[in-house]
Structure 1
Amino acid sequence: MLVFWKEKLVFLSVPKTGTTAIEAALSHRASMVISDPPELKHAPVYRYNRFFRPMFEKACNETSMETLAVMREPISWLGSWYRYRKRDFLDGTNRSTKNLSFDEFVDAYTRGDKPPFANVGSQAKFLEPRPNGTKVDHLFRYEDQPALVRFLEDRLKTQITFDRTNESPAMPLTLSAKVEDKLRRKCSAEFELYDSLS
């Protein structure tokens, strides 16, 4: 999470959406950089609403902070998690996808009781508005980096270049039509939210 106090902007870091690159490029401009622990670095809207928004309002008398986040196409997002969890440092753990196909990983993700290797959260849940009206004010598609850069350069009055960091190893990913149909049916909120972004 990055807080740009003068610009009244909070960047919420959705995992697997290039957040490490964004933080590397902009942390020097931020008033607050929350990089650890992961539960706070990747604080979703509900956690921001519960802890950070009240702090800004009560301790700092600031009620006009806006939020920004990035969402990735849902299958691509799962592909990034799958590739990340194939890395050697997870070998032998119940979170490793080393001996699984992408189909097996995505199929496990669609279950109600997800095994640890497929328990990677939900972008729609991360970004879900709260009953009190707290929501993401500016939501960009990961695949439309130019729009994100234009917004940030205009808001922060600085030129921005994102370097590729923390990338998962490249590999071909094949998802069968049967598993994709199941994913789209069981996780329809992910696709509906992504498709709503212009």
Structure 2
Amino acid sequence: MLVFWKERLVFLAVPKTGTTALEGALAPRASMVLRDPPELKHSAVYRYRRWLEPFFEKAGKQQMETIAVVREPVDWLKSWYKYRHRDDLAGHPNSTQGMSFDAFVEDYCRGDQPAYAKVGSQAKFLLDKDGSLGVDYLFQYERQDQLAAFLADRLGVTLETRRLNVSPPMALELSEPVAAKLRRKRADEFRVWEMGAH
């Protein structure tokens, strides 16, 4: 999470949306950088509203605006699958080694997810309890140009990122039946991604 105090902007770090690279580029410009613990770095809207927003309001008597990035759900799951497929997780309950991407997504769709499929939810991260968007500005990961233009205007910076925390390349395809199941079971994931379109 990045806080830009003078500009009244808080960047919420949705996991697997390029936030590590953005943090690397913007941290020198930020008033506050929350890196650890991961629960604080990746504070969802509800956690931000409960703990940090009141603190910021009391500290500065001003309303902060929030910004986040959302990734296309299948691509987001591919990133998680690859991240959890790395060699140092071999034999760990979080490892996706030895299973297909279809099997991983099937298990993600379950109510009782196995450890390797417990990767969170972009929808739960970004939506309020009533289902409305919980951030002021949402950008699709796939439209980095729009995000860069917004940050250039708001922060007066040119966004130059390096690829950081990148999962190893793998060719992954999702079968049509599993893709349809994902859209049906996790419709909010696609809905929140569409909210990021400008």
Tell me if both proteins adopt one fold, taking TM over 0.5 as the criterion.
Answer: yes
Contact 2:127 2:192 in 1 (8 A): no
Provide the rounded CA distance (Å) in 2 between the counterparts of 1:94 and 1:81: 14
Give the corresponding residue for 2:186: 187
Secondary structure (helix, strand or coil) at the match of 2:69 reads strand
Secondary structure (helix, strand or coil) at the match of 2:68 reads strand
- How far does residue 134 in structure 1 lie from its aligned partner after superposition? 8.5
Contact 1:72 1:143 in 2 (8 A): yes
Give the corresponding residue for 1:16: 16
Structure 1 counterpart of 2:89, one-letter code: L
Give the corresponding residue for 2:106: 107
Provide the rounded CA distance (Å) in 1 between the counterparts of 2:134 and 2:193: 15
Give the corresponding residue for 2:38: 38
Contact 2:70 2:141 in 1 (8 A): yes
Provide the rounded CA distance (Å) in 1 between the counterparts of 2:143 and 2:133: 24
Provide the rounded CA distance (Å) in 2 between the counterparts of 1:11 and 1:127: 12
Provide the rounded CA distance (Å) in 1 between the counterparts of 2:106 and 2:94: 15
Provide the rounded CA distance (Å) in 2 between the counterparts of 1:170 and 1:8: 37
Secondary structure (helix, strand or coil) at the match of 2:116 reads helix
Give the corresponding residue for 2:176: 177
Q: How big is the alpha-carbon RMSD for the aligned residues of Structure 1 and Structure 2? A: 1.3
Provide the rounded CA distance (Å) in 1 between the counterparts of 2:194 and 2:29: 31
Secondary structure (helix, strand or coil) at the match of 1:68 reads strand
Give the corresponding residue for 2:84: 85
Contact 2:69 2:138 in 1 (8 A): yes
Give the corresponding residue for 1:146: 145
Contact 1:45 1:130 in 2 (8 A): no
Give the corresponding residue for 2:50: 50
Provide the rounded CA distance (Å) in 1 between the counterparts of 2:141 and 2:79: 12
Post-superposition Cα deviations, 1:53-88, rounded to whole Å, max 9, x if no partner, equal 0101123322x2100000000000000000000011
Provide the rounded CA distance (Å) in 2 between the counterparts of 1:48 and 1:9: 13
Aligned positions, number: 196
Provide the rounded CA distance (Å) in 1 between the counterparts of 2:153 and 2:60: 25
TM-score, scaled relative to structure 2: 0.96
Provide the rounded CA distance (Å) in 1 between the counterparts of 2:110 and 2:134: 27
Secondary structure (helix, strand or coil) at the match of 1:6 reads coil
Provide the rounded CA distance (Å) in 2 between the counterparts of 1:92 and 1:168: 18
Provide the rounded CA distance (Å) in 2 between the counterparts of 1:60 and 1:4: 12
Structure 2 counterpart of 1:21, one-letter code: A
Unmatched 5+ stretches in structure 1? none
Provide the rounded CA distance (Å) in 1 between the counterparts of 2:194 and 2:158: 29
Give the corresponding residue for 2:28: 28
Provide the rounded CA distance (Å) in 1 between the counterparts of 2:192 and 2:158: 29
Provide the rounded CA distance (Å) in 2 between the counterparts of 1:161 and 1:30: 15
TM-score, scaled relative to structure 1: 0.96
Structure 1: which 4+ aligned runs deviate by more than 6 Å? none
Provide the rounded CA distance (Å) in 1 between the counterparts of 2:3 and 2:67: 10
Give the corresponding residue for 1:120: 119
- How far does residue 130 in structure 1 lie from its aligned partner after superposition? 5.1
Contact 1:45 1:134 in 2 (8 A): no
